[in-house]
Amino acid sequence: MKQTTTPTLFLLVIAASLLPLSAFARSPGFPRRDLSSLQREIEERNRERARRRGERVDDPLTALPRNWGEEKKERRDLPPDSMMRIGVTKRPRRCITKSKRGDTLKVHYNGTLYKNDDVIDCSIEREEPFLFTLGAGEVMEGWERGLHRMCVGEERKLVIPSGMAYGEAGAGADQPIHPGATLVYVVELLGIVDEEMYGLKFWEHEVRKLK
């Protein structure tokens, strides 16, 4: 039998990269031993490229995620009277102080819709931490409950049903938060601000020092 020449093998490698191996397996004129050697050749070339780039090549049959090619599925909003879910996603090594009612909290947050993960607001993108007083009614009920007794440096994930968020009214320009929306917030407590050193009271404090 005439052996396959190197140029011919090279053309076979190119063809194999464009077609699934099963297509060759179904071809009556394609010998099984050529298919096996061709597959080894492709895998070896992939490994060589990976070594040059310092990367790892996964098995081509397992590299893609299970849901690859599927359309993104939307989740249903939780009922308005559902219990909110609170998860701790990051803990500090030490917790010296915990948040309480009356504290002015400095936080970074990322808010998304539970239904489809669309971002609705993000202080991190604005590079501007958000300050509010816990228990003063300045934020939604879900935040009031979900950020109580939180350590500085801690990060929490809050899944807030509409009954503790914006209800059936929705919110935002062009209403990005639809009526009955369940919201997801990832919130990091950056610090607890001393009210005596915050806002107008900070200015008054400086004036008193000058007198």
Domain CATH code at residue 91: 3.10.50.40
Whole-number pLDDT of residue 178: 93
Question: Domain of 191?
Answer: 85-200
Is there a single domain that holds both residue 51 and residue 95? no
The residue written with tokens 């509010």 in the block is: 132
Looking at the 3D structure of the chain, how many domains does it have?
2
Element containing residue 90 per DSSP (H, E): strand 85-90
Q: pLDDT band at residue 66, thresholds of 50, 70 and 90?
A: very low
**Residue 3 token pair:** 């052996």
Whole-number pLDDT of residue 208: 42
The sign of the CA dihedral 96, 101, 103, 107 is: positive
User: Taking phi first (over 0 means left), then psi (-120 to 50 degrees means alpha), and beta for anything else, what does residue 186 get?
Assistant: beta
**Residue 109 token pair:** 């947050």
What residues form DSSP beta bridges with 85?
159
**Residue 74 token pair:** 């939307």
Judge if pTM exceeds 0.85: no
Is there a single domain that holds both residue 130 and residue 196? yes
Per-residue pLDDT tens over the stretch 108-134: 999 999 999 999 999 999 999 999 999
52 Cα distance to chain centroid: 31
Cα separation, 106 vs 152, whole angstroms = 9
